[in-house]
């Protein structure tokens, strides 16, 4: 029976063979690698991946799709909302008796909850080797944006302090069934080998305050917040939030 895409799950299924091959090439799966796919759907990406790695763990929320996927002999199916999956615990299960020390994560993420998924995975970054995700191109533009550009913002800072990221592939709407109303792209996210030591919650609050009124000079937003924190160091507040590089936000949090 043909599966009807469900709008509440943000389902858009990849159907372009050339794009699928290009995504798999960018992921570059190797035999035996422990890999998790988020949102396998109709297995368009799943099948070529499992052919390369031998076995794949998939996270699928849609009950009907999960039933289909369980019929595949080389898949371990986790039927769950991805935001409720403990990837650290999952990695321990996958790596038992394995020579690898970390898992790889891939997926065509539901565009309506892509940012929450990215922040959820950030909590488990210590067990992840790399991530390849298809997302709305507009979101990836923000993820990889450089300072002093209109796309540079909270998402840029909160991910770039921990990952090296690249927009590796453009995916047009007609590559999907049904076609989404937006352009898509694929991002590669590699956790930094020696990330700076920061209090993530403090960084999150600081960045949120800084970008709360991004057109205003930081003295009017972040300056007041720093005063409340009793900050006595030096930081140039005569700039807008989008003009401050990631490393300066990180250094400010460390100084606090």
Give the DSSP letter of residue 147: T
What 8-state DSSP symbol labels residue 146?
A: P
| Mean pLDDT (whole number) for 63-92 | 95
The answer to whether residues 122 and 229 belong to one domain is no
Condensed to tens digits (0 to 9), the pLDDT of residues 205-216 reads 999 999 999 889
Mean pLDDT over 106-114 rounds to: 89
Q: How confident is the model at residue 10 (pLDDT cuts 50, 70, 90)?
A: very low
Higher pLDDT, 14 or 248: 248
CA distance 4 to 148: 43
How far apart, in Å, do the first and last CA atoms of the chain sit? Answer: 58
Q: What are phi and psi of 115, to 5 degrees?
A: -65, -45
- Annotated binding residues, as ranges? 12, 14, 39, 60, 81, 108
Whether 1 is in a domain gets the answer no
> Angle, to 10 degrees, between the axis of helix 46-53 and the axis of helix 17-27?
40
3-state secondary structure of 188: strand
Mean of pLDDT values over 127-133: 98
What percentage of the chain has pLDDT greater than the value 70?
Answer: 95
The pLDDT-based confidence of 3 (bands split at 50, 70, 90) is very low
Report pLDDT digits (tens) over 27-74: 999 999 999 999 998 888 999 999 999 999 999 999 999 999 999 999
What is the sign of the dihedral through the CA atoms of 177, 182, 184 and 190? Answer: negative
- Indicate whether 159 belongs to any domain: yes
Q: Are residues 172 and 222 in the same domain?
A: no
Long-range CB contact pairs, 78-87, < 8 A, 24+: 82/38, 82/39, 82/117, 82/120, 83/113, 83/116, 83/117, 83/120, 85/59, 86/124, 87/36, 87/121, 87/124, 87/127, 87/128
Question: Which CATH number fits the domain that encloses residue 213?
Answer: 1.10.8.100
User: Structure tokens of 255?
Assistant: 């100084």
When pLDDT is cut at 50, 70 and 90, the band that residue 189 belongs to is very high
10 burial type by CB count under 10 A (0-12 exposed, 13-18 middle, 19+ buried)? middle
This prediction's pTM: 0.90
Query: What pLDDT was estimated at residue 227?
Result: 94
Tell me, yes or no, whether 179 and 206 share the same domain: no
Q: Based on the domain organization, do 122 and 177 belong to the same domain?
A: yes
Q: Which domain holds residue 230?
A: 200-255
Whether residue 165 sits in one domain with residue 96? yes
Position 12 scores a pLDDT of: 66
Q: Is the pLDDT of residue 221 over 90?
A: yes
36 three-state secondary structure: strand
Note whether 41 and 119 are same-domain residues: yes
Per-residue pLDDT, averaged over 131-144, amounts to: 96
Count of domains in the chain? 2
Residue 149 in this model has a pLDDT that exceeds 80: yes
**Structure confidence at residue 11 as a pLDDT band (50, 70, 90):** low
Binding-site positions for S-adenosyl-L-methionine read 12, 14, 39, 60, 81, 108
- Which of 138, 171, 191 finishes a domain? 191
């Amino acid at each position: 029976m043909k599966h009807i895409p469900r709008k509440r799950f943000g389902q858009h299924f990849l159907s372009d063979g050339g794009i699928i091959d290009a995504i798999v090439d960018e992921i570059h799966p190797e035999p035996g690698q422990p890999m998790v796919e988020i949102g396998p759907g109709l297995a368009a990406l799943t099948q070529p991946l499992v052919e390369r790695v031998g076995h794949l763990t998939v996270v699928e929320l849609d009950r009907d799709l999960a039933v289909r996927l369980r019929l595949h002999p080389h898949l371990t199916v986790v039927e769950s909302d991805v935001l409720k999956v403990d990837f650290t615990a999952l990695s321990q299960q996958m790596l038992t008796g394995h020579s690898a020390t970390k898992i790889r994560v891939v997926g065509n993420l539901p565009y309506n909850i892509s940012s929450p998924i990215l922040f959820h995975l950030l909590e488990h970054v210590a067990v992840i080797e790399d991530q390849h995700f298809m997302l709305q191109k507009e979101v990836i533009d923000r993820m990889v944006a450089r300072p002093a550009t209109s796309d540079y913002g909270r998402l840029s800072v909160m991910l770039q302090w921990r990952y090296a990221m690249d927009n590796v592939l453009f995916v047009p709407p007609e590559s999907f069934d049904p076609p989404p109303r937006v352009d898509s792209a694929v991002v590669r996210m590699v956790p930094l080998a020696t990330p700076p030591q920061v209090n993530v919650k403090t960084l999150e609050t600081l960045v949120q305050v800084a970008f709360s009124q991004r057109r205003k000079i930081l003295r009017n937003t972040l300056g007041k917040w720093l005063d409340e924190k009793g900050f006595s160091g030096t930081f140039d507040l005569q700039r807008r939030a989008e003009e401050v590089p990631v490393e300066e936000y990180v250094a400010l949090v460390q100084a606090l």
